[in-house]
Amino acid sequence: MKRALNFNAGPAALPEAVLAKAEKEMMNYQSLGMGVMELSHRSKEFEDINDRTNSLLRNLLSIPDDYEVLLLQGGASLQFSMVPMNLLEEGASASYVLTGTWSEKALKEAQKIGNAVIAASSKHGNYKSIPSLSEFDIPAGSSYLHITTNNTIYGTQWHTLPESLNIPLVADMSSDILSRPVNVSSFGLIYAGAQKNLGPSGVTVVIIRKDLLKRSKPELPSMLNYQVYSESKSLYNTPPTLSIYFLMLVLEWAEELGGVKQLEMMNKEKAALLYDVIDRSEGFYKGHAEKQSRSLMNITFTLDNEDLTSVFLREAEESGFIGLAGHRSVGGCRASTYNAVPLENIEKLADFMNYFRNRN
């Protein structure tokens, strides 16, 4: 079978080694005569998967002991509501830095819960950059500051993360978690949908400092309460067992590769190849993001006009490239180069982009 050259933004490519192992175990996990998705979530076998996943996350991301790891459902979009429901203190505000569509949505949901304000924004520049720390205006008494570390639609990424704040830093890391080392101790809470760098859709990772669990009020609905999930080891209700199993396999794959530092080195090499094609094209390809804010995960660019863009996308698909159309809200093109996208696929895309440019 010929594998597609998958550049989808999410759900995205999974490592072939992970898919091969899952295929092998799909019908018969550990000689049980059942697949993982058929196991009881109360069984020892699934509890082992759950514990192994937790342990791998802690090791790969160097998560300190005073942080809890939760495996939830509902995607990052549910966290837009759960974060303020659990962390926004009575009479206080929550501060949000706007760097794209997803941070806008996070703010909108938070405003339904309480007082949420804009601490900084790059919307005036069509989200081509990340605001500098000097631009922040955080009201006194804010319960937390929320950022989105990588912006899939606009192709920007935080390369200098806020540190030493006097309030908890909350980060949506859905599209760049596990792609580079981060200092978890700088954050109060990190959340990430799995379907870009961690596995298939269906499971969301939440990493929360344990002292913040005290903010989760008992009157919250149980299914929206971080404290409830913490006390039950993320097994309060039936979890997304198959997605967690895939998450475990992806984490094992990352560990075997050499961990997050090795993944960062690979991701920098992949992104550099495509940005080099863009920068050397003499304006034929135009990168959306300003250079100092460019994402290592989502390379966004445009061509001269919509007709030429349509031809590019059509010929790219005919050549086996999938998922290169930009988000419907901004158009243009986007190549998502997550951890599982192999270097050889990037090299093929770079060759195609040069070939297309030479012909047009």
* Local confidence band at 66 (pLDDT 50, 70, 90 cut-offs): very high
Query: At 163, is the pLDDT very low, low, confident or very high (cuts 50, 70, 90)?
Result: confident
Please report the pLDDT score of residue 348 as a whole number: 98
Q: Which residues contact 250 (CB under 8 A, 6 or more apart)?
A: 14, 15, 18, 197, 198, 199, 340
Q: Which of 158, 176, 196, 270 is catalytic?
A: 196
pLDDT value at position 72? 98
- What are the chain's domains? 16-257 (3.40.640.10), 259-359 (3.90.1150.10)
CA neighbours within 13 Å on the CB side: how many for 322? 11
pLDDT value at residue 1 = 73
CB 303 within 8 A of CB 215: no
CA–CA distance from 176 to each of 53, 206, 239, 313, 352 (Å)? 18, 14, 24, 25, 26
Model confidence pLDDT, tens digit, residues 210-246? 999 999 999 999 999 999 999 999 999 999 999 999 9
Residue 189 has a pLDDT of 98
What's the rounded mean pLDDT across residues 40-62? 98
Q: How far is CA 7 from CA 11, 80, 190, 297, 338, in A?
A: 10, 26, 25, 10, 8
Taken in order 42, 46, 49, 53, the sign of the CA dihedral is negative
pLDDT at position 339 over 80: yes
Examine the residue annotation and report whether 102 is marked as an active-site residue of this protein. yes
Catalytic annotation, pick one of 158, 172, 176, 270: 172
Residue 19 confidence (pLDDT): 98
State yes or no: is 253 an active-site residue. no
For residue 205, name the pLDDT band (cuts at 50, 70, 90). Answer: very high
Catalytic site residue 158? Answer: no
Distance CA 144, CA 89 (A): 9
- Distance between CA atoms of residues 134 and 107, nearest Å: 21
pLDDT tens-digit profile of 235-276?
999 999 999 999 999 999 999 999 999 999 999 999 999 999
328 band by pLDDT with thresholds 50, 70 and 90:
confident
Residue 146 has pLDDT above 90, yes or no: yes
For residues 142 and 127, give the distance between their C-alpha atoms in angstroms, rounded to a whole number.
24
Task: Tell how far CA 203 is from the center of its chain.
Answer: 12
Pick the residue with more confidence: 1 or 47?
A: 47
Identify whether the C-beta of residue 86 lies closer than 8 Å to the C-beta of residue 78: no
| DSSP track, 291-311 | GGGB-SSEEEEE-SSHHHHHH
b/e string for 85-111 if b means 16 or more Cβ within 10 A?
bbbbeeebbbbbbbbbbbbbebbebbe
Q: What pLDDT is recorded for position 224?
A: 98
Catalytic one among 102, 158, 176, 270? 102
